[in-house]
Amino acid sequence: MSRTAALSRKTSESAIELSINLDGTGKSEISTTVPFFDHLLTAFAKHSLVDLTVKASGDTHIDVHHTVEDTAIVLGQAIKQALGDKSGIGRYGDATVPLDDALVRAVVDVSGRPYLVHKGEPAGFELHLIGGHFTGSMVRHVFEAIAYNAGLTVHVTVLDGRDPHHIAETEIKAFARAFRKAVEPDSRVVGIPSTKGAL
């Protein structure tokens, strides 16, 4: 069964076209007009092994906020659609990932219950302009939008880090690795991996 989705969203603030293949090889073609966000989405695809295509634009002359958040919303919706009834997946995934000074742990549960616990970023991180355009506070917004629209429980904890670029990149890489484990098919799982019979 193909675990793919292709979605689009257009508002007065942004326009997004996105496709995803959960059983890919990490190929990506990303263009959001927000360079550091392109970098993060490329890393997400590479380390989760999903194939991801994103074409987005928006009112970045005002702020990158709308384009970034709306793209993450569509990504979450596409993940939910591609997962289908979640039959046969491992459901849980966790990863601890380093990048020089940064160290991040991420845990993902494909629970159907949106929840985000996000902590540990150093004081002032949320105000830092990464690459001169991407505010550190947007990292949490990205995780919120994905978790709430995909129906994931996500815990992201920054264990160490000094450089904002490294911290943000490590957060997305740790999430990607945990996500990869959570959505991978498990040959020993029969049906829905829940005592409820639904996720």
Superfamily of domain 4-183 in CATH is Imidazole glycerol phosphate dehydratase; domain 1 (3.30.230.40)
Note the pLDDT of residue 156. Answer: 98
* CA distance linking residue 28 with residue 20, whole number of Å: 9
pTM exceeding 0.95: yes
Note the pLDDT of residue 68. Answer: 98
First to last CA, the chain: 18
* CA distance linking residue 167 with residue 13, whole number of Å: 28
3-state helix, strand, coil in the chain (%, to 5): 35, 30, 35
Tens digits of residue pLDDT in 7-19: 999 999 999 999 9
Q: In 3-state terms, what secondary structure has residue 95? A: strand
Tens digits of residue pLDDT in 132-163: 899 999 999 999 999 999 999 999 999 999 99
Strand partners, 89: 185
Q: Sketch the domain layout of the chain as residue ranges.
A: 4-183
Q: Which amino acid is at 142?
A: V
Note the pLDDT of residue 198. Answer: 87
